[in-house]
């Protein structure tokens, strides 16, 4: 154990000599920390920056809220009118049902089946937002009616519809097919 103690003392002496030799080569630099008074930020500047960032945040929040509302409205419109293409393709089928019903007698059991089928199909389409545009006897409205003919009439007032050639339809308040009509002069 005495040997170990002697070895440790010799190592400590060698290290001290090396540290002393290294420190002689180095130059000591003294520095003083100086505080720069110009860099102090006043409370007014901090408050102005805060208010500026607060305004930017509020505008950004309002823009984002408006964006979300526009997207939700867009999605709702998409859902509302997604079936419009299918409904438009089914309108000629409804027209064919109406023609078949108009040309046959109501006592025929086959016609009763056609009427039931037409009514069921119309009910389903109405649940999707389809509605018939009223036309016979109504005032002509160029937004929902398409005038095919016009003629003088003693029984119908001027600018009123005399006859409907093809029914018009709206889907969720949007005209998907105007009614083709004859208008009184």
Indicate if the pLDDT at residue 93 is higher than 80.
yes
How high is the pLDDT of residue 64?
Answer: 95
How high is the pLDDT of residue 136?
Answer: 86
Alpha carbons 163 and 148: distance in angstroms, whole number:
10
Read off the pLDDT of residues 128-148 as tens digits, 9 standing for 90 and up. Answer: 889 999 988 888 888 999 899
Read off the pLDDT of residues 62-89 as tens digits, 9 standing for 90 and up. Answer: 999 999 999 999 988 888 778 888 888 9
Contacts with 78 (C-beta within 8 Å, 6 or more apart), sequence order: none
How high is the pLDDT of residue 67?
Answer: 95
Residue that wins the pLDDT comparison between 24 and 142: 142
Q: Give the burial class of 121: count Cβ atoms within 10 A of its Cβ; 0-12 exposed, 13-18 middle, 19 or more buried.
A: middle
Read off the pLDDT of residues 31-53 as tens digits, 9 standing for 90 and up. Answer: 666 555 545 678 888 888 899 99
How high is the pLDDT of residue 13?
Answer: 57
Indicate if the pLDDT at residue 185 is higher than 90.
no
Indicate if the pLDDT at residue 18 is higher than 60.
no
Q: Are 181 and 150 in contact (CB under 8 A)?
A: no
* CA geometry: angle 116, 122, 127, nearest 5 deg: 130
């Amino acid at each position: 154990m005495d040997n170990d103690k002697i070895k440790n003392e010799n190592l400590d002496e060698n290290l001290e000599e090396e540290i002393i030799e290294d420190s002689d080569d180095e130059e000591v630099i003294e520095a003083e920390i100086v505080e720069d008074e110009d860099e102090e930020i006043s409370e007014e500047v901090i408050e102005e920056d805060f208010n500026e960032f607060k305004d930017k945040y509020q505008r950004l929040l309002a823009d984002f809220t408006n964006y979300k509302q526009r997207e939700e409205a867009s999605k709702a419109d998409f859902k509302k009118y997604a079936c419009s293409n299918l409904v438009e393709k089914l309108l000629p089928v409804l027209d064919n049902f109406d023609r078949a019903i108009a040309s046959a007698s109501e006592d025929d059991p086959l016609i009763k089946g056609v009427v039931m089928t037409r009514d069921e199909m119309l009910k389903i389409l109405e649940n999707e937002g389809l509605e018939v545009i009223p036309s016979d006897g109504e005032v002509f409205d160029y937004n929902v009616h398409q005038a095919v003919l016009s003629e003088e009439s003693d029984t119908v007032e001027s600018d009123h519809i005399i006859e409907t050639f093809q029914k018009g339809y709206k889907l969720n308040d949007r005209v998907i097919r105007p009614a083709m009509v004859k208008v009184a002069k």
